[in-house]
Amino acid sequence: MFKNFTVLLIAVRSILFGCPLSKEFNSKDHYVICKVGKLPDNIPESSGLAYWGQSLVTHGDSGNKAALYSINDFLVPQKFPQKVINFPDSIQNRDWESLAQDSTGNLYIGDFGNNGNARKELKVLKVNVEDSSVHTIKFHYPDQFKFPPGKTQAKNFDCEAMIWYKDNLYLFSKNITHSNMKIYRIPDKPGDYTAELVDSLALKHPITGADFNPKNNQLALMTYGKVFLLNLSENQKDKFEMDPCKCKRTWFSGQTEALLFLDENHILFTNEKGKLFLLFPKPKGRKKEYVHQYLETFFSKK
């Protein structure tokens, strides 16, 4: 495992700077996409994905109900009942944009959507895995001084992507003004913090979703039209090698804003129209038959 997340960020930066992002990479390792389900209308604008117990859960975008919805039964119909995790009236969905989970099962809901870059009350809700109690992690950006920034300043303080790593949450800014994408760090414990700006990457795409898989040290970043897969492998202590960046086009999938590793080779993602997709290495047989068998096996182990 990594000594600290900064090592990962430096490695990611080194590969992104040299990666012509308009092309796909590593042609020997083909990925395919298959539509695997459709969410009902009562789950509007899915923008986060995570595990919660035996369920895969999602939530609606800004202004929707403060609730988490199980999506298991929309992937394998009739096998799992839909579950809705409601929150007290004091909890509101001002602009929920991302979900993350720590190593003990606690869930983090990113209520930090900030399209106009004018929002001051940014927070992450921490849901305790044992009793579902909710605790608040408040934060502000160290480099934002006007709300919104002036006309000559980059509006780079919106966020729709978050991952958990070793007692910290990492937030990826949604770059909409063609400046560098920023990565901020905040502790995963309740409190009021000044986020730490830990890196800035020359990635000229708005990041709308992120997930990190510690089993194979892979980071996935989602944008409108692409998923970037970054593979990291440990060579020796504190030294890491990386495979080339893999860029998978997802343009036909619509406005995608959430993704989740199901395992080392399969990524589930959703779009704001409620469609569910699976990204995976190209199988030898028929794609739909492979997907059906994979999902049946996946949920039978849950």
Distance CA 106, CA 53 (A): 10
User: Which residue ranges form the domains of the chain, and what is each CATH number?
Assistant: 5-300 (2.120.10)
User: What mean pLDDT do residues 150-166 have?
Assistant: 88
Query: Contact, 170 vs 163, CB < 8 A?
Result: yes
pLDDT at residue number 45: 86
CB contact set of 206 (below 8 Å; sequence gap of 6+): 174, 175, 176, 223, 224
Q: Which residues pair with 69 in a beta bridge?
A: 58, 84
Distance from C-alpha of 138 to C-alpha of 191, rounded to nearest angstrom: 6
pTM for the model stands at 0.87
Using CA atoms, how far residue 228 sits from 210, 234, 267, in Å, is: 10, 20, 12
Residue 262 pLDDT greater than 60, yes or no: yes
Q: State residue 4's pLDDT score.
A: 57
List, in sequence order, every residue forming a beta bridge with 283; answer none if it has no partner. Answer: none
What the block records as the tokens of 17 is 């700077």
Confidence of residue 13 (pLDDT cuts 50, 70, 90): low
To the nearest 10°, the Cα dihedral for 289, 295, 300, 301? 120
| Interacting residues of 259 by C-beta distance below 8 A, sequence separation 6+ | 49, 209, 210, 211, 220, 222, 227, 267, 268, 269, 270, 279
Average pLDDT value for the chain: 83
